[in-house]
């Protein structure tokens, strides 16, 4: 039943974006984007005023340009990716130990200790 609901949501989203004109040409899509941005801007500013200072704790002196912030986040995610890849052998070893122990329990009826 859930798959039908998910498919209906995807189909409805595709149909709606086609009706709005997102798939027509880049100029139409850019115009739609700018229109949505202008309509949402007052709500975003209101949310920034309410919750931005409470959760973000940024000061005006320590703000970065968007591009600098993006580069910093990109570098941090690449670093984290390499750290995860570095941990793969440990995870693979633990996985093979678990599979080996499960097979031993299945066939021998006892665990490796």
Both 94 and 69 in a single domain? yes
Residues 36 and 19 in one domain: yes
Q: Determine the Cα–Cα distance for residues 77 and 87; give it in Å rounded to an integer.
A: 15
Is 32:20 a contact under the CB 8 Å cutoff? yes
| The Cα angle at residue 52 between residues 46 and 54, in degrees rounded to 5 | 120
How many structural domains comprise the chain? 2
Residues 50 and 84 in one domain: no
pLDDT (tens place) for every residue of the chain, 113 residues total = 788 888 888 888 888 887 877 777 778 778 878 888 888 888 888 877 777 655 555 555 555 566 667 778 888 889 988 888 888 888 888 888 888 888 888 888 765 55
- pTM score over 0.85: no
Residues 51 and 81 in one domain: no
Domain final residue, candidates 20, 43, 59: 59
Place of tokens 């970065």: 64
Do 14 and 45 lie in one domain? The reply is yes
């Amino acid at each position: 039943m859930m798959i039908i609901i998910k498919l209906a949501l995807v189909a409805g989203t595709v149909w709606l974006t086609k009706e709005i004109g997102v798939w027509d040409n880049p100029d139409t899509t850019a115009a739609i984007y700018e229109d949505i941005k202008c309509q949402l801007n007052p709500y975003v500013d209101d949310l920034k005023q309410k919750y931005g200072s409470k959760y973000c704790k940024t000061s005006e002196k320590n703000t970065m340009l968007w591009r600098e912030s993006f580069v910093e986040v990109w570098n941090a995610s690449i670093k984290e990716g390499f750290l995860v890849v570095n941990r793969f052998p440990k995870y693979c070893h633990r996985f093979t130990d678990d599979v080996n122990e499960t097979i031993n329990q299945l066939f021998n009826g006892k665990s490796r200790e």
